[in-house]
Amino acid sequence: MSERGAEPALVVENLTTEFRIGGTWYPAVRGVGFALGRNETLALVGESGCGKSITALSIIGLVPRANGRVSSGRVLLDGRDLLALDEREMEKVRGNRISMIFQEPMTSLNPVLPVGFQVAEALRYHTDLSPSAARARALELLEHVKIPSAARRFGDYPHQFSGGMRQRVMIAVALACGPEVLLADEPTTALDVTIQAQVLALLAELKASDGMAMIFITHNLGVVASIADRVAVMYAGDIVELASVDELFANPTHPYTEALLRSIPRVDRDALDLRPIPGQVPPITAMPAGCRYADRCPLKIARCSVETPPLAPVPGLRGHHARCWVRTGDGAGAEAA
Amino acid sequence: MSAIATVPERGAWARLGTNMRRHKMASLGAGLVIAVALSAIFAPWLSPHDPYEQDVLLRLAGPSSDFPLGNDDFGRDILSRILWGGRVSLVVGTSAVLLAIMIGGVLGMLAGYIGGVFDRVVMGAMDVLLSFPALVMGLLVVAMLGPTVGNLILAITLTAIAPFARIARAPTLVVKERDFVEAGRALGFSNLRIMAVHILPNIIDEILVMASLWLATAIRTEASLSFIGLGVRPPTATWGGMIREGFENILDSPWLALFPSLAILVIMLGLNMLGDGLRDATDPRLRHE
């Protein structure tokens, strides 16, 4: 049984998701891979459009079919490849073993159905609970996510709740079936700062009590510091740096991570210290060869615009990986050879 | 957990009820419709006379205490015939509208939800159906298949499918892009469940408004077909048929055509007021929550 504890809850291998634009397929997520341990929170960080939400949608199998596809990779939940499941089997996994909460609590609940119904619905759909047992459990869940006087508010509609309370309801819905993995796609971005802190505290508490793994997508590094165990920094569809949260903040290795950290306003530093990253993320249809960050990178060497660097261990730092020819030392070694 | 026992499962209906009560027009319309419906349903008990009983002595007699609305060409009691005639109109109208909602509403939702080629094929077929005026479609079906209640229902259903498909498709297109549909998918709900439990309650308002307005149209079409002799065969009492019979004697005995016309007027007025009121009650811009 000790082996089981060490086994990761979710393994993503070489995940590539493409979108069709004007008849050509372009990768929005390129060969992303990571392992997520039980009771671990992995933060996916990056600018808008870097592929963090697409990674989550690929894991849960909700990449829009009309113009998107997962073209390679495996997503292993308890050793079973979710990408190989057909839609029917995947429906049994979604909301049951992997759940997702979204950015917009104001619109993610159905406005014409009472919140209690919406929590109970997931339970009744995935379990054999009787209607009354499902409602009793739904009420427990609403109390679990700390909705005040939950019994009285059970039959209320979403418009009668504030944004923070709605996000709590969404969390209750997502947790209804006790999932192993929770995908949280910027769950606090649309909330006030004070409410943000409450929801983050709630998520951390629930994770500890329910022992689930969480992928937390955000562009807010402050949130990362408070909730994550490990961090994957994404840039233009690649993971460019993967490290534990303490490591990442102590020893940012990839130049993009460094630049991200420098671009956070801080009270204890001079405003002049705040440096935006020059240039822009290359568009998906015009990705440069080699390292995708090369054009914006102050450390750029000739090799960067020719060969794509691998996500390699950073010398001297345990469990710390970065995708940079200059910083991983691999570049120097390869050049010497 | 007694608090939970009283939790309502659905809110769309309750909300509609609350809004309805605030709108007097709609309530008045609903009252008229219910009154006509009840009088048709209870015609066998309400009718003072047998609607088929002829009495030569009372031929074209005016209103009297025994026959409040007078007697027709065959001496039959007009009041009783109006009460019985309402049954044909309402059965044909409601059956046709219900069938049209089931077929057209489902087709429209599917077309909007699935999109792509399916959408284009279905809505193209609906455009073809729409190109037939209701009366022409009625003439065609009844002339080919015969004037029975079933064929009248079929004819009117055929003309009403396309409008219901359109009215169901448009809001489905909007609602399926809303975040809660994506959230439902992330919870593993099947497409069927998303459509039936999550999209339908969001579009039902518009379908109900359409239904009440189309019920009026269906009843009018049935009366029109009966008026030109393509309705249910005599001696069965129908409002349209009674007007036609009354037309022959309109100068001597105007009440023959007048009273069934008034019956049609009342039900049309009621249904249109109900429909308008429903539309106001369900219009988010006019809704006060």
Confidence at A1, pLDDT banded by 50, 70, 90: very low
Looking only at Cα atoms, what is the longest distance across chain B? 76
What is the pLDDT at residue A331?
Answer: 45
What is the pLDDT at residue B17?
Answer: 65
- The residue-averaged pLDDT of A181-195 equals 85
A29: DSSP letter: E
Comparing CB atoms, the residue among B6, B178, B186 nearest residue A99 is B186
Confidence at A336, pLDDT banded by 50, 70, 90: very low
Radius of gyration of chain B, Cα coordinates, nearest whole angstrom: 22
Confidence at B35, pLDDT banded by 50, 70, 90: confident
- The residue-averaged pLDDT of B212-218 equals 89
ipTM score over 0.90, yes or no: no
User: What is d(CA A251, CA A183) in angstroms, rounded to the nearest whole number?
Assistant: 27
Alpha-carbon gap: B184 to the closest alpha carbon of chain A (Å): 9
Residue A334 has pLDDT above 50, yes or no: no
Q: Is A241 helix (H, G, I), strand (E, B) or coil?
A: strand
User: Across the interface, do B7 and A126 touch by the CB < 8 Å criterion?
Assistant: no
Residue B10 has pLDDT above 70, yes or no: no
User: What is d(CA A26, CA A20) in angstroms, rounded to the nearest whole number?
Assistant: 6
Looking only at Cα atoms, what is the longest distance across chain A? 71
What is the pLDDT at residue A216?
Answer: 92
Confidence at B96, pLDDT banded by 50, 70, 90: very high
Residue B3 has pLDDT above 70, yes or no: no
Contacts of A174 in chain B (CB under 8 A): 187
User: What is d(CA A216, CA A232) in angstroms, rounded to the nearest whole number?
Assistant: 10
User: What is d(CA A28, CA A237) in angstroms, rounded to the nearest whole number?
Assistant: 5
For residue A62, which of B236, B155, B194 has the smallest C-alpha distance?
Answer: B194
Q: List, as ranges, residues 2-61 from A with C-beta within 8 Å of B.
A: 60
What is the pLDDT at residue B98?
Answer: 94
Q: Is B240 helix (H, G, I), strand (E, B) or coil?
A: helix
Contacts of B184 in chain A (CB under 8 A): 110
Between B116 and B253, residue with greater pLDDT: B116
Q: Which of B15, B179, B195 would best serve as a mutation to test chain A binding (most A beta carbons within 10 A)?
A: B179
Does the pTM surpass 0.80? The reply is no
Query: By the CB < 8 Å criterion, does A173 face chain B?
Result: yes
- Each residue of A28-55: pLDDT tens digit? 998 898 999 888 999 999 888 888 889 9
User: What is d(CA A217, CA A225) in angstroms, rounded to the nearest whole number?
Assistant: 13
Comparing CB atoms, the residue among B1, B3, B202 nearest residue A152 is B3
Q: List, as ranges, residues 96-155 from A with C-beta within 8 Å of B.
A: 96, 99-100, 102, 104, 107-114, 116-117, 121-122, 125-126, 132, 135-136, 139, 151-152, 154-155
User: What is d(CA A218, CA A44) in angstroms, rounded to the nearest whole number?
Assistant: 6
User: What is d(CA A75, CA A16) in angstroms, rounded to the nearest whole number?
Assistant: 11
- The residue-averaged pLDDT of A170-193 equals 86
What is the pLDDT at residue A272?
Answer: 65
Give the contacts of A49 (CB within 8 A, at least 6 positions apart). Answer: A281, A284
Question: Under a CB-based contact definition with an 8 Å cutoff, are residues A216 and A42 in contact?
Answer: yes
Percent of the residues in chain B that have a pLDDT greater than 90, as a whole number: 17
- Each residue of A300-328: pLDDT tens digit? 888 888 888 888 888 878 888 888 888 88
Confidence at B102, pLDDT banded by 50, 70, 90: very high
- The residue-averaged pLDDT of A125-152 equals 88
Tokens standing for residue B156: 């009117």
Residue B232 C-beta-side C-alpha neighbours within 13 Å: 20
- The residue-averaged pLDDT of A275-304 equals 82
Q: How many pairs of residues across A and B have Cβ atoms under 8 Å apart?
A: 96
DSSP string, A96-157: TTEEEE-S-TTTSS-TTS-HHHHHHHHHHHHS---HHHHHHHHHHHHHHTT-TTHHHHTT--
Confidence at A16, pLDDT banded by 50, 70, 90: very high
Tokens standing for residue A74: 């495996």
User: What is d(CA A24, CA A15) in angstroms, rounded to the nearest whole number?
Assistant: 19
Confidence at B113, pLDDT banded by 50, 70, 90: very high
Residue of A nearest to B2 (CA): A151
- The residue-averaged pLDDT of A104-120 equals 87
Task: Return the minimum-mean-pLDDT range out of A242-246, B76-80, B221-225.
Answer: B76-80
Query: By the CB < 8 Å criterion, does B202 face chain A?
Result: yes
Give the contacts of B64 (CB within 8 A, at least 6 positions apart). Answer: B70
Give the contacts of B188 (CB within 8 A, at least 6 positions apart). Answer: A90, A91, A92, A93, A94, A95, A96, A125, A126
User: What is d(CA A9, CA A181) in angstroms, rounded to the nearest whole number?
Assistant: 7
Give the contacts of A319 (CB within 8 A, at least 6 positions apart). Answer: A243, A244, A247
User: What is d(CA A254, CA A211) in angstroms, rounded to the nearest whole number?
Assistant: 31
- Each residue of B51-70: pLDDT tens digit? 777 777 767 667 777 777 77
Residue A285 has pLDDT above 50, yes or no: yes
Tell me: cis bond preceding B201? Omega within 30 of 0 counts. no
Task: Determine phi and psi for A265, rounding to 5 degrees.
Answer: -70, 135
Q: A13 — alpha (psi -120 to 50), left (phi > 0) or beta?
A: beta
Question: Under a CB-based contact definition with an 8 Å cutoff, are residues B155 and B137 in contact?
Answer: yes
Q: Is B244 helix (H, G, I), strand (E, B) or coil?
A: helix
- Each residue of B146-183: pLDDT tens digit? 888 888 899 889 888 999 999 999 999 999 888 889 88
Query: Cα B8–A165–A142 angle (5° rounding)?
Result: 55
Between B285 and A238, residue with greater pLDDT: A238
For residue B256, which of B27, B79, B39 has the smallest C-alpha distance?
Answer: B79
Confidence at A12, pLDDT banded by 50, 70, 90: very high
What is the pLDDT at residue B15?
Answer: 63
Query: By the CB < 8 Å criterion, does B252 face chain A?
Result: no
Residue A118 has pLDDT above 60, yes or no: yes
User: Across the interface, do A151 and B12 touch by the CB < 8 Å criterion?
Assistant: no
Q: Which helix (H) or strand (E) holds A183?
A: strand A181-185
User: What is d(CA A60, CA B67) in angstroms, rounded to the nearest whole number?
Assistant: 74
What is the pLDDT at residue B58?
Answer: 67
Query: By the CB < 8 Å criterion, does B185 face chain A?
Result: yes
Question: Under a CB-based contact definition with an 8 Å cutoff, are residues B84 and B263 in contact?
Answer: no
Give the contacts of A70 (CB within 8 A, at least 6 positions apart). Answer: A15, A16, A17, A58, A63, A83
Q: Is A132 helix (H, G, I), strand (E, B) or coil?
A: helix
